[in-house]
Chain A
């Protein structure tokens, strides 16, 4: 089983709909991140969290919100999806010793 699990893996939705992308981890680490990937733009940080009470904005947080329900769960929401939010979204967990990021498989979102 994967250490970092994202659901759904693929989603097509319409403009104005509310969407939630979920991330769960079994690694037991505190630091979790949400990134967005677009061709030619690399990985851009949306939000990150150090624990359930510590949530921080990244580079491109506008139009997004997050919830850290537990150490193992970090959800990303689009309250009213728009077409330019069409992208590949990655959740990642940061290890405490080496600091490496463990990425989920990604959630591909298409907003029509």
Chain B
């Protein structure tokens, strides 16, 4: 069935280092969303990408949608302890059935 792969599953970085998580699909996506879940919390929406090749920034976070609309990335520049959590991509294959990647758990070493 339709699914999305997210890598890596875990990432440990020193505070101040950069972090990137990737989502890949074998089929073209209508759009892709990114969420952040703090430890013990619930997922919170970060952004939605719709257009081919789209790049959006939120302070230290950069989101990209691939030209073929089959992959996306979230990049955090100069991580801070507040970035700790699990980052999920959520995809809609066009049927309102929102499917999530397995998530990337980010831990920060102070």
Chain A: residues with CB nearer than 8 A to chain B?
A: 31, 33, 35, 40-45, 48, 50, 56, 58-59, 90, 94, 98-106
Contacts and interface: CB of A to CB of B under 8 A. Distances in A.
Interface stretch (B55-63, B75-83, B90-98): B90-98
Nearest to B104: A42
Interface residues of B, number: 22
B102 A103 contact: no
B42 A106 contact: yes
* SS of A interface (majority): strand
Contacts, number: 56
Nearest to B3: A59
Interface of B: 1, 6, 9, 31, 33, 35, 42-45, 48, 88, 90, 92, 96-103
Nearest to B102: A42
Contacts of B100: 35, 42-45
A56 B98 CA distance: 12
A79 to B, nearest CB: 23
B103 A42 contact: yes
B45 A101 contact: yes
Nearest to A58: B97
